[in-house]
């Protein structure tokens, strides 16, 4: 994606001329440093908690009016440069018919973990109509947001596989790693099926009009580079290459993936998200080395979410450092290195956005 206006016009998408996030994602120089925050739609906002009271996560994600309101809340409060669709990475599995629930305080819990080729064969495919409410929510949001970009998202095949195999969240992913090494045939069959589900979910969002997409590989940092390249990269690449020609930036993010940054760029992302463990100038160097002679890499990140709980002079120092380091890349979208922590003061987030918007790109 090299020309936002041209790409938008070519695909019939709304052309958000000059939107800082889209300009930065295309490797251009925006009017200001664009900023949005992972998990900005919810968690730390009291208005979100009031709105969500009494509704389950999965039911909320399939309520178009609720999705629209929750997605728009941080835009109104913080003045960020993009909205990200309120959803969950396991939503397409649930919509396809996988028996799972999101248990408060635990996370996704799968009733029947996937451990064999028979289990993989029994997995349902996702019918786009099953996530029709998500498309409806996007339609509402495009009218609500005006000229502000809307980011769609999905979970990457490895992260979805880890939930399915473990049966829920895992600190060490031991069953996942055991399967990937001991039964690679079943492993690749599973990730191929999940890549198809992810692609279907993202295409529904793109058809509905999102302006960018982010592929979350939250747990890929548990892998060595060798294992990532052999057992995961081909399936993430299938998702990202399946979005070729959509005319929107593709952002790829994982936690603890400093050693995987080059491989993640090779998977086909236009923008690579960086957590707080690697400075952005060093991340840009690693990303550039992965594609010699290619365009300068675009990065997203990477303030440690815990820093938002510190005194504001500490926050300001870190924000200024990150913006300065981000100038080493071909483009920089300011974000956290992971999601907003629930105890974060929303007023602090608003002040951070205001600060970032005063800094030179």
- Catalytic residues, by residue number, are 39, 43, 52, 88, 163
Cα dihedral 327, 330, 331, 332 sign: negative
Q: What's the pTM value of the predicted model, to 2 decimals?
A: 0.95
Is there a domain that residue 20 lies in? no
Grouping H, G, I as helix, E, B as strand and the rest as coil, residue 273 is: strand
Q: Which domain holds residue 147?
A: 4-12+36-356
What would the two tokens of residue 144 be? 């609500």
Reported as a single tens digit per residue, the pLDDT across 278-328 is 999 999 999 999 999 999 999 999 999 999 999 999 999 999 999 999 999
- Structural domain total, the chain: 1
**Angle separating helix axes 346-356 and 312-326, nearest 10 degrees:** 40
Contact 147, 16 (CB under 8 A): yes
Reported as a single tens digit per residue, the pLDDT across 235-246 is 999 999 999 999
Cα dihedral 208, 213, 218, 224 sign: positive
Contact residues for 203 (Cβ-Cβ < 8 A; gap 6+):
128, 242, 243
Contacts by 225-234, CB closer than 8 A, 24 or more apart: 225/259, 225/260, 225/263, 227/180, 228/260, 228/263, 229/263, 231/180, 231/184, 231/187, 231/188, 231/191, 232/157, 232/158, 232/191, 233/263, 233/266, 233/267
Is there a domain that residue 269 lies in? yes
Is there a domain that residue 31 lies in? no
Reported as a single tens digit per residue, the pLDDT across 87-127 is 999 999 999 999 999 998 899 999 999 999 999 999 999 99
User: CATH number of the domain that 344 lies in?
Assistant: 3.20.20.210
Is there a domain that residue 224 lies in? yes
Is there a domain that residue 124 lies in? yes
């Amino acid at each position: 994606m090299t020309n936002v206006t041209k790409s938008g016009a070519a695909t019939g998408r709304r052309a958000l001329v000059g939107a800082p996030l889209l300009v930065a994602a295309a490797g251009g120089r925006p009017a200001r440093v664009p900023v949005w925050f992972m998990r900005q739609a919810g968690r730390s906002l009291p208005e979100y908690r009031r709105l969500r009271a009494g509704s389950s996560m999965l039911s909320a994600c399939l309520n178009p009016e609720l999705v629209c309101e929750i997605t728009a809340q941080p835009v109104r409060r913080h003045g960020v440069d993009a909205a990200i669709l309120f959803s969950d990475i396991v939503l397409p599995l649930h919509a396809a018919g996988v028996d799972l629930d999101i248990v408060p305080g635990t996370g996704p819990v799968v009733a029947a973990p996937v451990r064999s080729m028979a289990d993989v064969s029994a997995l349902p495919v996702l019918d786009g109509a099953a996530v029709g409410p998500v498309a409806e929510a996007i339609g509402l949001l495009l009218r609500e947001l005006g000229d502000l970009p809307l980011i769609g998202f999905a979970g990457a095949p490895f992260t979805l596989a880890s939930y399915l195999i473990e049966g829920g969240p895992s600190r060490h992913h031991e069953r996942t790693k055991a399967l990937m090494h001991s039964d690679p045939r079943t492993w690749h069959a599973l990730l191929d099926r999940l890549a198809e589900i992810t692609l279907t979910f993202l295409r529904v969002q793109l058809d509905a009009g999102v302006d960018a997409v982010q592929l979350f590989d939250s747990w890929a940092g548990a892998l060595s580079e060798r294992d990532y390249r052999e057992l995961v990269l081909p399936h993430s690449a299938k998702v990202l290459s399946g979005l070729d020609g959509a005319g929107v930036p593709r952002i790829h993010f994982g936690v603890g993936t400093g050693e995987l940054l080059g491989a993640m760029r090779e998977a086909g992302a236009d923008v690579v998200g960086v957590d707080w463990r690697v400075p952005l100038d060093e991340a840009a160097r690693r990303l550039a080395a992965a594609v010699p002679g290619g365009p300068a890499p675009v990065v997203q990140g990477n303030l440690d979410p815990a820093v938002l709980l510190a005194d504001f002079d500490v926050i300001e120092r870190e924000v200024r450092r990150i913006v300065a380091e981000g100038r080493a890349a071909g483009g920089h979208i300011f974000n956290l290195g992971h999601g907003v922590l629930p105890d974060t003061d929303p007023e602090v987030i608003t002040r951070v956005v205001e600060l970032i918007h005063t800094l030179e790109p």
